[in-house]
Structure formats: structure tokens, C-alpha cells
Chains A and B, each alone.
Chain A
Amino acid sequence: MKNTHHFCGKQTISFVLDQIPYIVLFALILWNCLFTKNFFNIATLWNASFQCASTVIVSMGMMLVIATGGIDISAGALIACAGMLATLTMRQSSCILGVLAGLGTGLAGGFINGIFAGRFKVQPMIVTLSMMYIFKGAARLASGGSNVSTNTPVFNDLTYIRIGGAPIQLFLFLAVVAIMGFLVNKTTFGQRVFAVGDNARASEMAGIRSWLVILAVYMIAAFLTSFAALVEISMATGADPNNLGTGMELDAIAAVALGGTPMNGGRPRVMGTLAGVFILQIITIMINMNNVPYAYSLAITAAILVAALLLQRVKDRIA
């Protein structure tokens, strides 16, 4: 017996694996600072905030849904639908009513998702897929298929508010992240989400009504998504029923996966998810600034995503 002190490889490895999103993000930033012209500039941050604010907001909701073991693929379509209804309402009445219409659409849609997934225990994939069609259809039907502009300067101008040079979008998504961090890590609701995702039967035996938790989670997710829709229409001064929000759910799912929230339910990782969005965003910027075709950016994103999921599996295996 030479040594009585042993390092435990596995525990160390699993700790390092938890840090992967941050390491990757850091590496990407470093690489770009060194090799991408004009990257090391505060304007890059402001631009990125513009571009990824709504993705961050949607991802935070998606993270909760995934933490309970579900998925919401109606998010992108909800952006189109909530955005369109908000725009149309704004045109016809007031800015405030438009905002309420957008958020209301989200809450209603989330309620339907949550009731079916939680109470009636329908596969979340199927429920939200159906809702995706409904949202898409509703957006086209309401607009007749063409672009509509808000015609509400008060609302559109919100986009350009800057505080100390930083765009309002930065503060919006940071606020959402902060609230989510509090919700997940400090409240009993956060504990319930974690427990239901990790072992639904045990949670029910412990007196947690899992269907209510699931309902709440889908409603929060859809509410955040419709909030993101408002951010988007304000920037675009209107809604395009065919393109608004397209693919947003995929970006959000990718960010959550990159961030280390287990895809079949478990501990939600707020900062990881934020890092996940940044990683995806930096890849896009990198590609743009270096004049690489868009298709490559998709391929690189895919590669990073697969790598992240592989690492998650490695962690499950050794834990």
C-alpha cells in the first residue's frame, strides 16, 4: 500500500464536463479575439445582444420544459403567431393592447400545450407539433399571408433605447436570465421542476402534483416566447407571417443541450443555457465576419451540438 490518498478520476471528470459549455465559449471568444478582425470591440457585444436577445429569452423557457422531460417545438411558430396578432392589434387599437394580445396568445398557447402534456399525458412532441401547425396557420390566416407593419412608432422606437451605450435588449435578456436563475435555484418551484424531470413517480409520491408543474412550465415557456416575439416585431417594425421566428425552437433546443440540461429531464442549467446561446451566436458571427458561407455555419453548429450531447452521455455513463 503505497499511497493512501487517491484522486477520484471520475468525479473530477464529471466536474470538468459540467464546465464544458463555459470552456467552449471561452475558447471561441479567445480564438476570435486573436484571429477575427474587428471582433475585439464593444460593438460586437452590442450587436450580439441585438441578435440573440430573443433566442436567450426563448431558451430560458425551453430549458424549463426540457428539465421536466418535455420539449416545445411550437416556440418558433408561436413567435410568428403572437407577433402577428400583436402587430395587427397595434395597428387597429393601441400599443398597450397589442402587447397584451401578444402575451395573451402566449399564455393561451402555453396553457393548451401544458394541459395536454401534463394533465392528459400526451407525448409533448406530438402536442407541440400540433400546436406548431395551429400557430403557423393562425399567423397566416390573420395576416392573409403578407407582411404587416405595426404602424406604431412608440413601440418600434423602444428597440433603439440605449442605457450607457448598451442596447435595451441586453438588459431585457439579462433580466430574464436573472429571474430564471432565482426561480430555478432559490424557489420551491425550481425544486419541483427538477424533481419531476428526474423522477416523476417519486415526486408524485412526495405529494408534488406533477401535472401542475408541467402546466406551469409550458405556460412560462410560451409566455417568454411571446415576449421574445414582441422584441422581434419591435426590431423589425412589423411581422412577417412566413419567416418570423422560423427555426427559433431549434436554436433554443440546441442552446439548452449545449448548456448541459439533461435532455430527458433533470437539473435545469441557467448559466449553461446562456453560454449555449452565446456559443451558437459566436459561431454565426465568426462565420459572417470571415465571409464563410451560411451553410458552413449550420454544419459547425451541428458538429458542436453532437459533440455536446456525446459528452453528456459520457457523463451519464461514468456517474
Chain B
Amino acid sequence: MEYILEMKQIQKSFSGVHALKGVDLCVCPGETHALVGENGAGKSTLIKILTGVYSKSGGSILFDGKEISPKTPNEAQMLGISPIYQELNLIPDLTVAENVFLGHAPKKRGGLIDWNRMFTETESIMESLGIDVDVHAQIHTLGTAVQHMVAIVRAIQLECKLIVMDEPTSSLDKKEVDSLMKMIRELKKKKIAVIFISHRLDEIFEICERVTILKDGEGVGTFAIQDLTQHEMVCKMLGRDFSKRERIRTERNFDDVEYLFELEHAVWFPKIGDMTIRIRKGEILGLAGLLGAGRTESAKVMFGYARPEKGILKKEGNIVKIRTTRDAVRLHMAMCPEDRRAEGIVPDMSVRDNMMLASLSGKSRFGILSEKVKRQISEEYIDKFSIKTPSSKQLIKNLSGGNQQKVILARWLATNPQLIILDEPTRGIDIGAKGAIEELIQEFSNQGISVLYISSELDELVNNCDRVLVMRDGRQAGELTGTELSRDAILTAIAGAM
């Protein structure tokens, strides 16, 4: 078969890190090709080379029969390779159509923009893909999923032949993922190839024809999806046998345990209507709901990052003052935010310093935190979470996405918290590490640490939590414990049939 893209023996070294050691990736026209591997396996690096963000240290790229070596993302775009980044580079205040045609708007004679053509052409592309979006709407009024689609429409308008998506689904909820999947199927019909990176195997088995597996910067191989089971794929990714754990949670009864933290009747206009969260000592409490249901906002209110109009917080039955995140740290709360790039990492700081950021007051003496303590703690966690980094002095921005997430988790564990709020903790984390994190959460709870677990992955909630609160439109829409706790029950509660 003729390939549209042949990447051969691609190598990439960063100082001290041999990220890619000769990887092959071949993609057929119109194919949806999955790229999988552990955190730090080299997936993002490989596609950054393809899209001109990094230059390769060795190997060759054949695209559409010609040898290419794009130096900038723009050059790659001109060749017909369009990346859809996680942080979409759309302009929020412009309309859908303006974004689609950004930089090359159709012109009338005399150089004026031909607005009519712009809008009708955008509409016709949208129609051909079966998307129903108002092309006159401003981007910022649309949801993330729709924005993804606009980015894809833009790529099509640029007549690209290959779209590269690096973890496009990690910030989408189930419904949005479905509409993205539908769109990818339409792309297939148009003979546009897609490279699809994801840690969610279900999606890969649903949409992709073939998969290339990376491990530690080397290609394990390329397989047709129907020749593999999920289990085989995971074993190849991890390079060892892996058994998927079912519900880890032992049936525990918390009815007699006293409450550790109670957030009562919080109102934060317009995101939270009236929300009460009571969490017991050692309990793992899940928060379920759709995107925008107010889960993250409730967590932020609890953590003192947002100031609600109404509501009180109690610790062990006593009302406590919480006005800033620092008060929360003093009360022994910890919070891993969902948006790690914007709210988690300090990019130009080392892994070590990032890990100590929440312990600056707690672990220092006279305003000084000794390098020895820092080194000890950071190396302990690097080991525990198998964080892939050449040393604890590496800048965190040079780590792969999943490994950055692990550093942020470590930052909070180092503070010895009594309550840990985890907002989508497994987002962007590979299957092996996900298991490790889930085990860790159980371990906390056995030590008496409470966990507030926010996740869009229902299986994770069911497997890990003792109790789940379901939120809808800023309010509690249901509460599930013990045997009533199941995937279906959560879905029903989210849909509002209770």
C-alpha cells in the first residue's frame, strides 16, 4: 500500500536524554492511526518533529512521496500536516468563520474581504462533516469540543492531508468525545489521515485502524487493531504483564466515623447553586458530573481559591476561616488542579523546586529550605512514582505531560495532608501509572487521609470511591454508597432521572 507518511528511524536527543532511538511510523491515506505508549515514551516528541516544532537528530520523513524536514509549524502546515494542539490556537473574540479563514480570508477584487464567501464556505465544510454550529458565533461562546471541531475545520480548509491530535480527548467529557469520534469518521471519508494519541484504549479500539506502540523511545511495532486485544496492547506498551484490577474498594462502612471537613451550603454565582460536601476521615469521596456541573468550582471553593458568596467550612465540627489557599494548606488540605499547565507547573523551575513549592513554609527553618532536604524528598517521589527525568534538577517543562502530572501529585503528598482534593488526577497518565496512583489513593485512605476524587471516568469512581456525589448545574443531584454505587447509577443520576 502507498503510504502518505513514512517516518523512518527517527532519532531525537535532548542533552542527556535520548528521547527517540530510531522510531518508524507509517500512515496510509485516510487512515486513523493510533500512537500509544507510557508517559515519556516519546509520542509527543515524535509528532513535534513531524509538525516542525523540534528538529530531528536522525532519520528521514517521507510525506506524500517527497522527503521533507519541516523547520517550523507553519512550514508543516503548508505541506499539508496540521496539528490540533491541546491548547487550541484559536482567537476567542473572532467568529467561527473568521477563525477558520484566519490569515487567508477570501478577497474580493480590490483587496476587501469577501465576507459572504467566507461564511458560506465555512458553512459548507461544516455541513459536509455533519456539524451544526453557528458560523457567526464567537469562539469563546462555544464549548471545548466544538472549538476542537473548528480547529479541525480550519485544517480541512487549509487542504491538509494529515491531522495530528495529541491527547485531544483528555479534556472532553463522554458526549463531546462521541462527537469528536463522529467527526474523525467523516475525515476518513474525505481521505484525510489522522494520527491519534490517547491513553484511553476504548477510544483507540473504537476509531483507529492501526496502532504504533512506543516504549522508551523505541518502536515496539505497528499492528492492525483487530489483531490485538486491549490486554495485549497494554502488555506491549508496558513491556510486562498487566492485569486490570476490578473494584479495589473493600466494602467499608463509614457511618460511624466523624466528619473531617464539611463545606456547607456553598453558593458561588453562577457556577454553584447550593452545594454541601461532607467528607469523613479516611473516606474516598467521588464527585461525578458533566463538564461545567460545578465539580472543579466546588473543589476550588473548598480549597480557598475561590471566594463563595455564601457557605461555611468546618473542620472536625468547628467552623474554620478559609480565605486563601494558604489557609487551606494550614488546615492540611491539598489540591491537584485539573489544568496542570495553567495551574500546576512552574515551567522554568526544576522538578525538585516544583515539588517543594507547597512545602516552602512547612518544611523550612528561618526561611531556608536546605538543598539536602529538597533532594531527599524529591528523589523519594521520583522513585515512588517512577517519574521519568534525568535528574531532580531537570526543568519541569522538559518532562512529558504525564510525568509533570506526577510531580504535581508529589508536591502535595510532600505536605502530609489530611485531605487531598484530586481534580482529574489520571488525566494524561498512562495505564501503568494510573494503577499506581489508584493504589496510592487506597493507601492514603488506609492511613486515615481523606480523598475528594473528581473524575469524568466513571469506572475510576466506581472502582475507587466509598461514596459518590453526583452534581448537576451546581447542585447535588444524587448520592451513591455501597452496593448502589455503579456506573449505571451514576449515569442515571447525571441524566437527572432520580
Contact = CB atoms under 8 A, between A and B. Distances in A.
Contacts of A202: 342-346, 357
Given A8-B13, A188-B364, A195 B326 contact: no
- The prevalent SS among residues of B at the interface is mixed
Interface in A183-232: 186-189, 191-192, 194-195, 198-199, 201-209
A266 interface: yes
A12 interface: yes
Contact of B353 (A12, A189, A191, A201): A191
A207 B328 contact: yes
B364 A207 contact: no
Nearest to B57: A6
Interface in A139-180: none
A262 B324 CA distance: 28
A132 to B, nearest CB: 30
Interface residues of A, number: 31
B325 A207 contact: yes
A203 B348 contact: no
Interface in A255-299: 262, 266-267
Contacts of B335: 205
Nearest to A207: B329
A187 B349 contact: no
Interface string A1-21: 101001110111000000000
Given A188-B367, A205-B337, A207-B358, A194 B346 contact: yes
Given A202-B342, A206-B411, A11 B15 contact: yes
A6 B58 CA distance: 9
- In the complex, which range does the number of interface residues on chain B fall in? 35 or more
Given A1-B9, A205-B305, A205-B344, A195 B349 contact: yes
A180 B356 CA distance: 21
A11 B394 CA distance: 12
Contacts of A262: 348
B348 A208 contact: no
Given A194-B349, A201-B342, A206 B358 contact: yes
B437 interface: no
B356 A191 contact: yes
A267 B364 CA distance: 20
Contacts of A198: 346-349
A198 B345 CA distance: 9
A10 to B, nearest CB: 8
A4 to B, nearest CB: 8
B228 interface: no
B368 interface: yes
B367 to A, nearest CB: 5
Given A1-B58, A12-B15, A198-B347, A206 B367 contact: no
A24 B306 CA distance: 47
Given A6-B57, A192-B360, A204 B305 contact: yes
Given A6-B13, A6-B58, A1 B22 contact: yes
B361 interface: yes
Contacts of A203: 346, 357
Candidate in B9, B14, B349 with the most chain A CB atoms within 10 angstroms: B349
B369 interface: yes
Given A6-B13, A191-B360, A195-B346, A209 B369 contact: no
Contacts of A192: 360
B122 interface: no
Contacts of A266: 348
A208 B304 CA distance: 12
Contact of B357 (A7, A10, A206): A206
Contacts of A191: 349, 353, 356-357, 360, 369
Interface string B349-363: 100010011101100
Residue among A7, A8, A209 facing the most chain B CB atoms (10 A cut-off): A8
B11 interface: yes
A208 B357 contact: yes
Interface in B316-348: 324-326, 328-329, 335, 337, 342-348
Given A6-B58, A8-B15, A12-B15, A208 B326 contact: yes
Interface string B3-22: 00000010101110010001
B52 to A, nearest CB: 13
Given A8-B15, A187-B367, A188-B364, A206 B325 contact: yes
B176 to A, nearest CB: 24
Residue of A205, A267, A319 with most partner-chain B CB within 10 A: A205
Interface string B369-400: 10000000000000000000000000001000
A11 B398 CA distance: 11
Contacts of B18: 6
B14 A8 contact: yes
Q: Which of A6, A188, A192, A202 has the most CB of B within 10 A?
A: A202
Residue of B58, B305, B337, B348 with highest tally of chain A CB at under 10 A: B348
Contacts of A208: 325-326, 357, 360
A127 to B, nearest CB: 22
Contacts of B14: 8, 10-11
A10 B15 CA distance: 8
Of B14, B329, B342, B357, chain A has the most CB atoms within 10 Å of the CB of: B357
Given A1-B58, A266-B348, A201 B343 contact: yes
B353 A267 contact: no
B347 A209 contact: no
Contacts of A6: 11, 13, 18, 57-58
Contacts of B13: 6-8
A209 to B, nearest CB: 5
Contacts of B348: 194, 198, 262, 266-267
A8 B13 CA distance: 6
Contacts of A7: 13
B219 to A, nearest CB: 14
B346 A199 contact: yes
Nearest to B412: A206
A3 B364 CA distance: 47
Contacts of B15: 8, 11-12
Interface string B284-316: 000000000000000000000100000000000
8 contacts: A1-B11, A8-B13, A8-B57, A188-B367, A191-B349, A192-B360, A194-B349, A207-B361
Given A188-B360, A188-B368, A206-B358, 16 more contacts: A1-B9, A6-B11, A8-B15, A187-B368, A188-B367, A188-B369, A189-B367, A191-B360, A198-B348, A201-B342, A201-B343, A202-B345, A202-B346, A205-B305, A208-B325, A266-B348
Chain A to chain B: the 5 pairs with minimum beta-carbon distance, closest first: A11-B15, A207-B329, A6-B13, A188-B360, A8-B15
